[in-house]
């Protein structure tokens, strides 16, 4: 049975076009949800370098999608280049990205069931045991290098198809500051280090004072460690599954309310 969040206020920082499924699940669990986008997504231009990468992706042995945004912006480009090829195997960072691939008709997807990081992917899927072949990582501009470096050490040829750019939106912090002053917000969900930094910029000093007393829910230990200096309490989930996030919000809110 899912945790209940009655009387708990939660800030959702996902991009506006992706926030509703999680916000709706939190509201169904009884939470008051404040939508405060700390990230926006913009498509990368369809230039010659990217068209070359798209053609390489269409023939790759493995396609690895790092996020639902990588799916939304990457799959149409790969299909426009004639892919994925019949021999191509497909991997996703976690359940949400795998579900996005399913919605695009790509159903044979490898992804970790126990986590949502590249480390989990290598540990739980056949991608971790490959020793050759061409891997195309579909991502936004400037993603992490660790997976690519590991695959290259193992013998694979790795390239990137960067199909979107993450930017800081022009989000008004006033609704959060008002709700925080009224004691209505107890937790915030932060899904990446970039979202954390953008959030700190957006909310300013007054917002950071609230955050220092609030619960912060992250996905994975890396972001949890980044958030710890700014938070009253941190809870990390293994994946982005809504039930996990709801349970973590309940724990985080209970922790800060007990102090």
pLDDT for 113 equals 86
Q: Packing angle between helix 48-58 and helix 68-80, nearest 10 degrees?
A: 90
CATH class of 9-39+171-257: alpha beta
Please check the confidence at residue 84 and state whether its pLDDT lies above 60.
yes
Checking if the pLDDT of 1 tops 70, the result is: no
**Contact of 159 with 137, CB cutoff 8 Å:** yes
Length of the chain in terms of residues written? 259
Q: Would the pLDDT of 253 be above 70?
A: yes
What whole-number distance in Å separates Cα of residue 62 and Cα of residue 146? 17
pLDDT of residue 166: 94
- Max avg pLDDT among 90-94, 114-118, 171-175: 171-175
Q: Are 252 and 187 in contact (CB under 8 A)?
A: yes
Q: 3-state class of 66 per DSSP?
A: coil
Q: What's the confidence (pLDDT) of residue 143?
A: 77
- Element (H or E) spanning 201, and its range? helix 193-211
Q: What does the pLDDT read at residue 114? A: 82
Domain boundaries, the chain: 9-39+171-257, 42-166
34 or 96, greater pLDDT:
34
In CATH terms, are 9-39+171-257 and 42-166 the same topology? yes
Q: Per the omega criterion (within 30 degrees of 0), is the bond before 259 cis?
A: no
Which element (helix H / strand E) includes 227?
helix 221-227
Q: Map tokens 């994925």 to a residue.
A: 84
Tokens of 16: 């506006």
Give residues with Cβ within 8 angstroms of 75, minimum separation 6: 101, 104, 106
In the CATH hierarchy, which top-level class contains the domain 42-166?
alpha beta
pTM above 0.75, yes or no: yes
**Rounded Cα gap, residues 150 and 25, in angstroms:** 36
Q: What is the pLDDT of residues 165-219, one digit of tens each?
A: 999 999 999 999 999 999 999 999 999 999 999 999 999 999 999 999 999 999 9
Identify the three-state secondary structure at position 164.
strand
State how far the alpha carbon of 27 is from the alpha carbons of 9, 14, 68, 171, in Å.
10, 15, 22, 22
- Please tell me the number of Cα atoms within 13 Å of 123 on its side-chain side: 10
CA pair distance 32, 92, nearest whole angstrom: 31
pLDDT tens digits along 40-77: 999 999 899 999 999 999 999 999 999 999 999 999 99
């Amino acid at each position: 049975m899912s945790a209940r969040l009655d009387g708990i206020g939660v800030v959702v920082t996902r991009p506006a076009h992706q926030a509703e499924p999680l916000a709706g699940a939190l509201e169904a669990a009884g939470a008051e949800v404040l939508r405060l986008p700390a990230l926006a997504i913009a498509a990368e231009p369809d230039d010659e370098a990217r068209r070359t990468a798209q053609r390489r992706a269409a023939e790759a042995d493995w396609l690895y999608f790092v996020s639902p945004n990588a799916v939304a912006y990457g799959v149409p480009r790969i299909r426009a280049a004639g892919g994925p090829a019949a021999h191509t195997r497909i991997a996703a960072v976690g359940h949400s990205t795998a579900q996005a691939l399913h919605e695009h008709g790509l159903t044979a997807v490898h992804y970790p069931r126990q986590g949502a990081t590249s480390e989990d992917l290598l540990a739980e899927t056949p991608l971790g045991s490959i020793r050759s072949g061409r891997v195309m990582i579909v991502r936004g501009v400037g993603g992490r290098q660790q997976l690519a470096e590991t695959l290259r050490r193992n013998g694979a040829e790795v390239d990137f198809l960067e199909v979107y750019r993450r930017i800081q939106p022009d989000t008004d912090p006033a609704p959060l500051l008002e709700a925080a002053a009224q004691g209505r917000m107890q937790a915030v969900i932060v899904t990446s280090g970039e979202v954390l930094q953008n959030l700190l910029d957006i909310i300013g000093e007054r917002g950071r004072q609230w955050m220092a007393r609030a619960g912060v829910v992250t996905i994975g230990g890396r972001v949890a460690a980044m958030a710890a200096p700014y938070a009253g309490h941190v809870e990390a989930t293994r994946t982005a599954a809504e039930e996990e996030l709801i349970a973590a919000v309940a724990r985080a809110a209970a922790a800060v309310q007990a102090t």
